[in-house]
């Protein structure tokens, strides 16, 4: 079972410029694309788990989130990096769009998105970790049984490099 790195999106992979949903508005955090490639090269799954309350608030639609994630995947591929899966929560209990105006188990700090991906990919939770920029990210990680690290906003590649270990040691055996 491979471990995973869970990335929050806004504030970790891209600058948190408030409700980003258009590719031309996205600004990568310094070292973000290289960090994803390092995660790939280390043999970890790379996942994005992101609250997208802009959907519930009526600022944009789910298709806009999917379009942005497709663009991000394409841009990452251009530097030899990949996200294995994106998951997002469109809900907010105070949303303006009725079908999204709910309290759910996927909106961080709830662990739903992380748990779904762990199960779907059969990832090893005990060797996995989350990189987030808010306490709610760390709370979701803890509730899902994975470690959490608070990103300081500097270079993401430099931040994540010391966190990537030979995960076979975590599993107690040599990787084959």
d(CA 170, CA 167): 5
137 is catalytic: no
Catalytic site residue from 10, 84, 133, 137: 10
SS3 category, 149: strand
Catalytic site residue from 8, 84, 133, 137: 8
C-alpha closest to that of 13 among 41, 43, 61, 47: 47
Residue 161 CB: number of other CB atoms within 10 A? 14
- Percent of the chain that is helix, strand, coil (3-state, to 5): 40, 15, 45
Range list of β-strands (E), 1-76:
4-7, 45-51
8 is catalytic: yes
- Catalytic residue ranges: 8, 10
């Amino acid at each position: 079972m491979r471990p995973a790195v869970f990335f929050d999106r806004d504030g970790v992979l891209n600058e948190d410029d408030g409700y980003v949903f258009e590719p031309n508005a996205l600004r990568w955090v310094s070292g973000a694309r290289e960090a994803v490639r390092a995660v790939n090269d280390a043999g970890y799954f790379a996942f994005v788990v992101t609250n997208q309350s802009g959907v519930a608030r009526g600022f944009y639609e789910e298709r806009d989130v999917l379009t942005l994630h497709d663009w991000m995947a394409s841009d990452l591929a251009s530097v030899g990096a990949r996200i294995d899966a994106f998951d997002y929560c469109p809900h907010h209990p105070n949303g303006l769009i009725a079908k999204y105006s709910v309290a759910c188990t996927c909106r961080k700090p709830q662990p739903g998105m992380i748990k779904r991906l762990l199960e779907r990919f059969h990832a090893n939770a005990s060797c996995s970790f989350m990189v987030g920029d808010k306490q709610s990210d760390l709370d979701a990680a803890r509730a899902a049984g994975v470690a959490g690290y608070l990103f300081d906003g500097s270079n993401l590649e430099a931040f994540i490099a010391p966190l990537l270990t030979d995960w076979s040691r975590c599993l107690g055996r040599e990787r084959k």
